[in-house]
Amino acid sequence: MIRAGVINIPIASVPSNMPLYSHRMTPSRTLPTLSARRYVQPLREGGSLPAIVDTDDGLFVVKFRGAGQGAKALVAELISGMLAMALELPVPDLALVQLSETFGRSEPDPEISDILRKSHGINVALRYLDGAFNFDATAAGDLIDARLATRVVWLDALLTNPDRTARNTNMMIWERSPWLIDHGAALYAHHDWASVDTARVHSPFPLIRDHVLLTHAQDVASVDEQMAAVLTSDVVSGVLEQVPDALLADAAFQADGDTPAQARARYASYLNERLASPRAFALTASKVRAEKLSEVPLQRTARR
Ligand SMILES: Nc1ncnc2c1ncn2[C@@H]1O[C@H](COP(=O)(O)OP(=O)(O)OP(=O)(O)O)[C@@H](O)[C@H]1O
Ligand SMILES: [Mg+2]
């Protein structure tokens, strides 16, 4: 059975007009740690070469710590996915997956065996959506209503996620409903914390212009306050507490000179400041959407 994601966030801090768990979610379950049993199949369309892996809780798509994108991409996946769940957006179950020292030893493909060898220990996974297909805005545009599109655009602008474009939508349609996947490129500030000053924290994220749902969405300003109100500092801390030390102790974080606690503190301060009003990312998404909508008739006229 596929379930929507579950995370442990403090419900008391959420406004009462914002029901959190209507999406087949169970509150107060922590991120599970599963054991990888069998490498089933690589997903070659993914740049990081994720794979379907059988675990003690069924099939998951594992994003490997030893892939080129590194541990920070896995942390972005976790933080973004859990924040999306807190906002009731549809994300497959998230889990940590433990790879034993012997896992993948008989894998014949050298590229895969190299990644597996570097990924012993903790990795990040999303439940495998069996039979899902990649969302294509032209083919499946009516499967996402405008309100949901607006909320997804807001989330991606908050997270500085450049990876939800028409070319690479990183959304799947499963049982005629959309699911958000692949947040590994989000939160890109964490690749260079040293250069993250106040201006960068409040980056308006103009890349939102390329978001596949931007012109399908309503004005982002219409959801801005309500969404930001859900992501209180308690919710953000609850999410960060679930990011395991095993990931935050990776060399990528040590290179910043950070302990896991210090790494969490950086994310907390970045996200809490970004979420403070006025939110430049929401204002910009709103403005860019209006500009794009006003361009559409011009493009049509020009083609004639
Ligand atoms: N939970 C899932 N269930 C089913 N298929 C999935 C799931 N997650 C990913 N996939 C499939 O695997 C592909 C690659 O996954 P994903 O986009 O997460 O990898 P990536 O390496 O981060 O990719 P990218 O090249 O976009 O950076 C997706 O496009 C999708 O087709
Ligand atoms: Mg992808």
Band the pLDDT of 217: cuts 50, 70, 90: very high
Rounded mean pLDDT of the chain?
89
Identify whether the C-beta of residue 182 lies closer than 8 Å to the C-beta of residue 46.
Answer: yes
pLDDT at 18 (0 to 100): 35
pLDDT at 59 (0 to 100): 98
pLDDT at 26 (0 to 100): 38
Probe residue for ligand 1, chosen from 61, 63, 136 as the CB with the greatest number of ligand atoms within 8 Å: 61
Give the ligand 1 atom nearest the CA of 126: 1
Ligand nearest to the CA of 40: 1
Kindly tell me if the per-residue pLDDT of 198 is higher than 50: yes
CA of 46 to the centre of ligand 2 (A): 5
Kindly tell me if the per-residue pLDDT of 9 is higher than 50: no
255 lies in some domain: yes
239 lies in some domain: yes
- Residue tagged 């990183």 (tokens): 170
Ligand nearest to the CA of 181: 1
Give the ligand 1 atom nearest the CA of 49: 21
pLDDT at 298 (0 to 100): 56
Band the pLDDT of 45: cuts 50, 70, 90: confident
**Tens-digit pLDDT profile for residues 12-43:** 333 333 333 333 333 345 799 999 999 999 99
CA of 170 to the centre of ligand 2 (A): 5
Residue of 181, 184, 186, 183 lying closest to 73 (CA atoms):
184
pLDDT at 24 (0 to 100): 39
22 lies in some domain: no
Alpha carbon nearest to ligand 1 atom 28, residue: 46
299 lies in some domain: no
205 lies in some domain: yes
pLDDT at 297 (0 to 100): 63
Domain that holds residue 273: 11-15+27-294
Kindly tell me if the per-residue pLDDT of 146 is higher than 50: yes
Give dist(CA 276, CA 224) in Å, integer.
Answer: 11
3 lies in some domain: no
Band the pLDDT of 141: cuts 50, 70, 90: low
Residue 138, amino acid: T
**What 8-state DSSP symbol labels residue 122?**
E
Alpha carbon nearest to ligand 1 atom 13, residue: 46
CA of 46 to the centre of ligand 1 (A): 5
Strand order in the sheet with 177-180: 133-134, 171-174, 177-180
- Residue tagged 């794009």 (tokens): 292
Give dist(CA 179, CA 44) in Å, integer.
Answer: 20
Based on the structure, what is the number of domains in the chain?
1
Give the ligand 1 atom nearest the CA of 179: 1
Probe residue for ligand 1, chosen from 172, 179, 187 as the CB with the greatest number of ligand atoms within 8 Å: 172
**Tens-digit pLDDT profile for residues 102-128:** 998 889 999 999 999 999 999 999 999
Q: Is 98 exposed, middle or buried (0-12, 13-18, 19+ CB in 10 A)?
A: middle
138 lies in some domain: yes
Kindly tell me if the per-residue pLDDT of 173 is higher than 60: yes
Q: How many CA atoms lie within 13 A of 192 on its CB side?
A: 4
pLDDT at 46 (0 to 100): 84
